Amino acid sequence: MKRFECLQAIAAMINDELFVTTAGGATAEWNGVRPSDGNIQVKTLGLCSSIGLGIAIALPKRKVFIFDGDGALWMNLGSLATIGLHQPKNLIHICWDNRQYESSGGEPTAATAGNIDFAGMALNAGIKSSCSVTTVDELKQAVSHALSHDGPHFIWARIEAGRTVAPPLKYDELENKYRFVRYVEETEGIDILRVPMPASYLLK
Amino acid sequence: MGTIAGAQQILAGLKAAGIDLVSSVPDINMLQLINLLYEDKEIAHVPVGREEEGIGVCAGAHLGGKKPAMLMQNGGLLNSCNGLTTTALQFGIPVLLLIYYAGDIGDNAFHMVGLVTEPVLQGLGIKYIVMRDPTKVKQDIAGAVTLANSSKRPVALLLTRGVL
């Protein structure tokens, strides 16, 4: 299965869930398939799983998706243990495994040799809802289960290499952050960014 | 280990400044403070395995509306440099960095880490205060959090044994 057809299938299943997408091809493809202020891009390879965990802890009633990659997950494998420790019920962590650093030119990752079982690692880190999928139908079943059951969930999506041409992101990271935070404020009914009153207004 | 009174004063300062989530990796000198965090009901405590993870957790927590701090030793600051640069600084994330200053004058471990700590913070463009005076703890924490929020950047407090 190709990542792009998987993303199209997920887009048809979701509403206002939040999406944290790795420094890699999944970000442009996902924003092409589902443009939304509820998507936040990540620029630090590996950190999407930690950022997603932070959002999930801050907003425990909101479903949070992480789109990770095999190279990125390799860089931050410890995040599986941390997610297993904290058990965020609202977290859905998908690793798009194309067995290469595609955005860096296709070099091999730890997954290339075929020895790694990411789903088994997640399971043994304490993430009880963990599975491996190789077809779009299996992926849809796994996402459907994750959307309707408490997690944390981990889905090891074993995809073909190859990117689909997607438009460049419309917003840089700062604008993306502001739009994402404003979207969270509006949909959660909370204040996150408040500008203080100028000091002159506070004089008596 | 630090003292219980020192840890209580820092915890009270964090609460007064609005901090409501602390991610941590331990150091022996912050044992009392970390023990208090495990017991505290108002501040969410998120232990992580490596400090850069904690920078990610704090960034996500901010995006979700929390007021985060990262508690670590200065060796962990070095572990966090890419996350601080390409996540916290590049996205403009306010996060309080509470860093035990190992290798500082009077500390007998990790002198090389102590030597590079302030130059690394300066190189990253992260403003910091070296906390030595226990009577200024509350004021230093409040000031650092105010600047983090207004500048939308990380701000660091280097904790020495004098305040722990």
Residue ranges of domains in chain B:
4-159
Residue A100 DSSP SS3 = coil
Q: What pLDDT does residue B41 have?
A: 96
Q: What pLDDT does residue A195 have?
A: 80
8 A C-beta contact, residue A157 and residue A133: yes
pTM, rounded to two decimals: 0.97
Distance CA A32, CA B95 (A): 31
Q: What pLDDT does residue A204 have?
A: 66
Answer whether B61 sits within 8 Å of A180, measured CB to CB: no
- Written as six digits, the tokens of A77 are 């494998």
In which band, very low, low, confident or very high, does the pLDDT at B109 lie, cut at 50, 70 and 90?
A: confident
CA nearest to B7, candidates B134, B156, B108:
B134
Q: Which numeric CATH code is attached to A3-202? A: 3.40.50.970
CATH topology of domain B4-159: Rossmann fold (3.40.50)
Q: What pLDDT does residue A106 have?
A: 93
8 A C-beta contact, residue A155 and residue A142: yes
8 A C-beta contact, residue B149 and residue B92: no
Does residue A22 surpass a pLDDT of 90? yes
Closest CB from A50, A174, A176 relative to B60: A50
Q: What pLDDT does residue B34 have?
A: 98
Q: What pLDDT does residue B106 have?
A: 87
In chain A, whose CA is at the least distance from the CA of B24? A82
Q: What pLDDT does residue B2 have?
A: 86
Mean model confidence pLDDT for chain A: 96
Q: State the amino acid at position B4 in one-letter form.
A: I
pLDDT 10s digits, A143-158: 999 999 999 999 999 9
Q: What pLDDT does residue A123 have?
A: 98
3-state secondary structure B61-107: HHHCCCCEEEEEEHHHHHHCHHHHHHHHHHHCCCEEEEEECCCCCCC
Q: How far is B61 from chain A (nearest CA, A)?
A: 4
CA nearest to A100, candidates A82, A61, A127, A74:
A74
pLDDT 10s digits, B112-149: 999 999 999 999 999 999 999 999 999 999 999 999 99
Does residue A196 surpass a pLDDT of 90? no
Distance CA B67, CA A200 (A): 26
Distance CA B67, CA B124 (A): 21
Residues 37-56 of B with CB under 8 A from A: 44, 46-50, 52-56
| Pairwise pLDDT comparison (B108 vs B124), residue with the higher score | B124
8 A C-beta contact, residue A204 and residue A33: no
Answer whether B92 sits within 8 Å of A181, measured CB to CB: no
Answer whether A44 sits within 8 Å of B56, measured CB to CB: yes
Does residue B78 surpass a pLDDT of 90? yes
8 A C-beta contact, residue A26 and residue A3: yes
In which band, very low, low, confident or very high, does the pLDDT at B76 lie, cut at 50, 70 and 90?
A: very high
pLDDT 10s digits, B5-61: 999 999 999 999 999 999 999 999 999 999 999 999 999 999 999 999 999 999 999
Does residue A24 surpass a pLDDT of 80? yes
Determine the average pLDDT of the residues in A44-68: 98
Distance CA B39, CA B23 (A): 14
pLDDT 10s digits, A77-129: 999 999 999 999 999 999 999 999 999 999 999 999 999 999 999 999 999 99
What is the predicted ipTM? 0.97
Does residue A74 surpass a pLDDT of 70? yes
Does residue A200 surpass a pLDDT of 90? no
Q: What pLDDT does residue B108 have?
A: 87
Query: What are residue A82's phi and psi, to 5 degrees?
Result: -70, -40
| Pairwise pLDDT comparison (B109 vs B25), residue with the higher score | B25
CA angle B29, B31, B36 (to 5 degrees): 135
pLDDT 10s digits, B145-164: 999 999 999 999 999 999 99
Q: What pLDDT does residue A96 have?
A: 98
8 A C-beta contact, residue B86 and residue B59: no
Determine the average pLDDT of the residues in A132-139: 98
Distances (CA, A) of A188 to A43, A109, A192, B60, B100: 25, 39, 10, 15, 36
Q: How far is A106 from chain B (nearest CA, A)?
A: 23
Determine the average pLDDT of the residues in A27-49: 97
Answer whether B53 sits within 8 Å of A55, measured CB to CB: no
pLDDT exceeding 70 applies to what percent of chain A? 100
